[in-house]
Chain A
Amino acid sequence: MNLPLNRNRPAIMHIDLNSCFASAEQQAYPVLRGKPLVIAAYTTPGGCVVAPSVEAKQFGIKTGMTVRDARLLCKDIIVRDPDPQLIRDIHLKFRKVLSDYSPNLTPKSIDELVIDFEGTLSFKRGLVEIGKEMKQRIKKEVGEWISCNIGIATNRFLAKLAASLHKPDGLDIVTDKNLREVYASRTLTDLNGINTRYEARLNACGIFTPLQFLNASLDILKKRVFKSINGYYWYLRLRGWEIDAVEFARKSYGQSYALKEQTDDPKKLIRLLMKLCEKMGRRLRKRNYQAYGIHVALVYTDMTYWHMGRTLQIPLYSTADLYRKAVWIFNRQPQQKKVRDLAVSCFHLESTQPEQLDLFDSEMKNNKNVIKAVDAINDKYGELIVTPALMMGMKNVIIDRIAFGGVSELEDIYLAR
């Protein structure tokens, strides 16, 4: 198979807000503008930098560093907590502006959106002109300090690559004419979806640059590098053919927490597990689901990990059900070590609507009524107003956060408005 480059007119646009969390904070608090700022999960020295501002990036500060390391690179760095409500509002305004141009809008994360212009009236105007207009409207309608990168191409993969070419505030188009030139200026790990492990695989097959990756035959990619259908997908993707326009249905609900105080004390960990189950259960029930599977994952301070999942015969609905099973799995750890990350998720979802009625009043039905009443109180007065006793004194632990790449979280945001 010898597939040519996609020579169609580019119709996909990828829009990415620049340093979203930090820019949002600088938008809200003008005294922080023009200053090196990082948004960190915790403001303590061990806290992880979630987003550096454009000014902080100039000092070499990157996402994933600790606050301690960021301070070593820039002693005057300003460190702030993320403000989830502010970021969510910016996302909604950002989405509202872009939805005027096409109905085919796909949020990829809290700060990224993809628009497919194929068949829309706006397509006739030219995407570069539309891109420039969007930038102006975002500044006017979202905030003057908010800027974005725009990439235009024939598929989602190249549009994202185009959006990464000139940061911040870039607008680039990748077509069959400049595709080779763009690949020549990038490394393999600059390509979205190629991490260091894939890079090592490609290197082992004599592929060291994106251009060599493009020139590799389908047989090499499919049979030697990826050894799966992924090789075919990459073959199409690199040539500008669409393969990523897939929307995945909701398959699970999960919560995770990076521990502020890393511990191996099961009593403390189980309390955290309870709070994670409560947050997960609230989301599960809000969308009228119950789960037939549960999974617990732990990452230890020595960077090893352990996880286990179980499929069950009876559905899990209440926080107590989820918690009991999560603890049952948690207690199966082969050894107790200091934990740094704790995660719980539930899967094999089934809708609770329409509800199967029992012939007789069962205990489960009564429990469901109590759970619904408690959820209604929390809906009215705010999260965690009524909680299990095990969660006493935990109001400020595992607080509201924005998930990385959390597309699934976005549906909760749209639901709330």
Chain B
Amino acid sequence: MSEVINEKISVISFYDRNKGKSWPVKFFWQGRSYKIRQVGYHWPARIGRKLVHIYSVVAENNTSFKLVHDTETLHWILEEVIDEFAT
């Protein structure tokens, strides 16, 4: 099943100075914490001149999440959830 969420969430992210990369490692949504096991893909996108970074991640409960980091407002948005029973 997949579902569009579009909710602001709290995120802990990690920045690696050697690789020059940053990625989310844990997020909090609806009173629960989700530890990120894998970043499937990361891609930048533009909405007008605003740059957003999109991360598709897999949490430890084997569910995929699409997280969007707005570089202007610094908000993190949980855009979509896809579980292993996707149809």
Contacts and interface: CB of A to CB of B under 8 A. Distances in A.
A373 interface: no
B56 A29 contact: yes
B86 A143 contact: no
A184 interface: no
A30 interface: yes
Contacts of B47: 381-382
B82 interface: yes
Interface string A65-82: 000000000001111100
Chain A interface main SS type:
helix
A385 B48 contact: yes
Interface of B: 2, 38, 40-41, 43-50, 54, 56, 58, 62-64, 66, 82-84, 86-87
Contacts of A86: 41, 43, 54
Contacts of B41: 24, 27-28, 86, 143
A378 interface: yes
A85 B43 contact: yes
A30 B41 CA distance: 9
8 contacts: A28-B56, A30-B38, A31-B63, A32-B82, A77-B87, A85-B43, A89-B45, A381-B47
Chain B interface main SS type:
strand
Contact of A79 (B44, B54, B87): B87
Interface in A380-394: 380-383, 385
Nearest to A93: B43
B84 A31 contact: yes
A78 B86 contact: yes
Nearest to B37: A30
A30 B87 contact: no
Contacts of A382: 47-48, 50
B48 A380 contact: yes
Given A30-B38, A30-B58, A32-B86, 20 more contacts: A27-B40, A28-B41, A28-B66, A29-B40, A29-B82, A30-B40, A31-B58, A31-B62, A31-B83, A32-B64, A35-B86, A79-B87, A85-B45, A85-B54, A89-B45, A378-B48, A381-B48, A382-B47, A383-B48, A385-B48
A29 B2 CA distance: 11
Contacts of B38: 30
A347 to B, nearest CB: 29
Contacts of A380: 48-49
B50 to A, nearest CB: 7
Contacts of A30: 38, 40, 58, 64
Contacts of A90: 43
A406 B20 CA distance: 33
Contacts of A76: 87
Contacts of B87: 76-79
Most chain A CB within a 10 A radius of its CB, from B58, B66, B82, B83:
B82
Nearest to B43: A89
A37 B58 CA distance: 18
B73 to A, nearest CB: 13
B46 A29 contact: no
Given A76-B87, A85-B54, A31 B64 contact: yes
A29 B48 contact: no
Contacts of A143: 40-41
A286 B80 CA distance: 32
A314 interface: no
A27 B55 CA distance: 12
Contact of B48 (A32, A85, A89, A379): A379
A90 B2 CA distance: 22
Interface in A36-63: none
